[in-house]
């Protein structure tokens, strides 16, 4: 049996305390220190990890209790997006206010509420009799993601630290707790198409070379047909042109250059390399000279295949909420794209309707229910895999 912790916490009070730390990326503002302190008091070995390849020191932590396998990891982030216009908030964005059964504040949903829930669940469970519990918490998920989880994953690999399975607490439910959990994510690839011309007066086009018509042809070729029709677990890949620009504010000047920016969210029918090849093939059909620059930060799609681990998570959600969560691969990117290099990862958190919005909020009952779900996952995990 596990050894219950004497430092168990009320998840709502803990979430409110985390919200009161204004940890807008890249600042920790005491949020990460709060988590580290609770874990150290419960007997976890806490590693504070700071990386600054992007030029700004970013704090992270990895904490573990136990030395045996299997190692179940809870992952998340304590950094948040900016609050925007504070005057628009009914409650202070960093006040951590509870009113009428609702917790308000930046990060309540994304994702300090979930961090508090799995911290409370782990502290209540205590040290596993067999196996290990661990936490991977970053301060760089909402920012460039250069010095957060991606760096911690490399640090763990270098140390030979094994994580067997991971639950990431991103808000996964569209409308009600128990609606959905993420079993994968689409990949993401961005690029810039540049067409060179010769600047000149519009009244003397023979002395200039307008790049705009050629760029229009290239964009048309790129978007002429769907990339695919989806796959067993993923929706169709989607390419969006997000900007077409010549930087020309006047009407009597032919521009010297035109650019288009695009992003593709792609499924498992493509790898990064095969998708790049398809984009080049499409552009080449336009018969126009161009330069193409794929941007850094691209990510592969991934899937945690159905099996005992995904069933365990779904069972825990259903037991608490009465809803069997739908497996989903929709939405944007998350730090799961880095963690999947270590182990199978599933995402489950709060309802995401207010994330990044003014008056971000979550019902107190959902925080307690999520804590209960995480507690069931922990108990069932060691009964199943240890």
Rounded (10°) CA dihedral 131, 145, 15, 383: -20
* Nearest residue to 369 via CA among 173, 144, 87, 77: 173
**β-sheet with 102-104: strand ranges across:** 98-99, 102-104, 361-363
Give residue for tokens 């439910």: 173
Is residue 79 part of the annotated active site? The answer reads yes
Distance, CA of 94 to CA of 159 (rounded, Å):
37
Is residue 83 part of the annotated active site? The answer reads no
List the helix and strand counts (H, then E) for the chain.
9, 19
The catalytically annotated residue of 17, 83, 110, 141 is 141
- For 172-237, strand residue ranges (E) read 180-182, 184-185, 187-196, 200-201
Q: How many CA atoms lie within 13 A of 133 on its CB side?
A: 28
The catalytically annotated residue of 17, 79, 83, 347 is 79
DSSP string, 347-379: E--SB-TTTTSTT-EEEHHHHHHHHHHHHHHHH
Distance, CA of 126 to CA of 116 (rounded, Å):
15
Q: Is residue 206 exposed (0-12), middle (13-18) or buried (19+ Cβ within 10 Å)?
A: exposed
Residue 129 gets which letter from DSSP?
S
Give residue for tokens 């989607």: 238
Q: Kindly report the number of other CB atoms within 10 A of residue 91's CB atom.
A: 17
Residues identified as active-site: 79, 141
């Amino acid at each position: 049996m596990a050894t219950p912790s004497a430092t168990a916490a009320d998840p709502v009070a803990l979430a409110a305390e985390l919200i009161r730390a204004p940890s807008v990326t890249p600042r920790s503002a005491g949020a990460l220190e709060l988590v580290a302190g609770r874990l150290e008091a419960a007997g976890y070995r806490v590693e504070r990890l700071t990386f600054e390849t992007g030029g700004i020191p970013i704090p992270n932590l990895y904490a573990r209790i136990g030395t045996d396998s299997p190692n179940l990891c809870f992952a998340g982030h304590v950094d948040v997006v900016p609050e925007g216009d504070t005057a628009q908030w009914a409650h202070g964005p960093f006040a951590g206010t509870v009113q009428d059964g609702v917790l308000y504040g930046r990060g309540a949903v994304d994702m300090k509420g979930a961090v508090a829930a799995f911290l409370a669940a782990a502290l209540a469970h205590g040290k596993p009799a067999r196996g290990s519990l661990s936490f991977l918490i970053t301060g760089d998920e909402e920012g460039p993601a250069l010095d957060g989880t991606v760096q911690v994953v490399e640090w763990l690999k270098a140390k030979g630290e094994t994580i067997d399975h991971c639950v990431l607490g991103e808000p996964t439910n569209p409308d009600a707790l128990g609606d959905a959990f993420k079993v994968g994510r689409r990949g993401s690839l961005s690029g810039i198409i540049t067409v060179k011309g010769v600047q000149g007066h519009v009244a003397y086009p023979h002395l200039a070379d307008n790049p705009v018509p050629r760029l229009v042809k290239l964009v048309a070729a790129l978007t002429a047909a769907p990339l695919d029709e989806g796959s067993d677990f993923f929706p169709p890949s989607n390419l969006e042109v997000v900007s077409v620009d010549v930087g020309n504010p006047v009407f009597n000047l032919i521009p010297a250059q035109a650019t288009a920016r695009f992003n593709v969210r792609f499924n498992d029918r493509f790898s990064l390399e095969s998708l790049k090849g398809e984009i080049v093939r499409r552009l080449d059909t336009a018969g126009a000279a161009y330069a193409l620059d794929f941007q850094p930060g691209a990510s592969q799609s991934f899937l945690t295949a159905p099996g005992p681990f995904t069933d365990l998570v779904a069972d825990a959600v259903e037991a608490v909420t009465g809803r069997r969560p739908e497996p989903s691969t929709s939405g944007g990117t998350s730090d799961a794209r880095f963690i999947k290099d270590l182990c199978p990862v599933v995402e489950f958190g709060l309802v995401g309707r207010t994330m990044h919005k003014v008056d971000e909020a979550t019902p107190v009952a959902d925080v307690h229910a999520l804590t209960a779900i995480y507690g069931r996952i922990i108990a069932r995990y060691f009964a199943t895999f240890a």
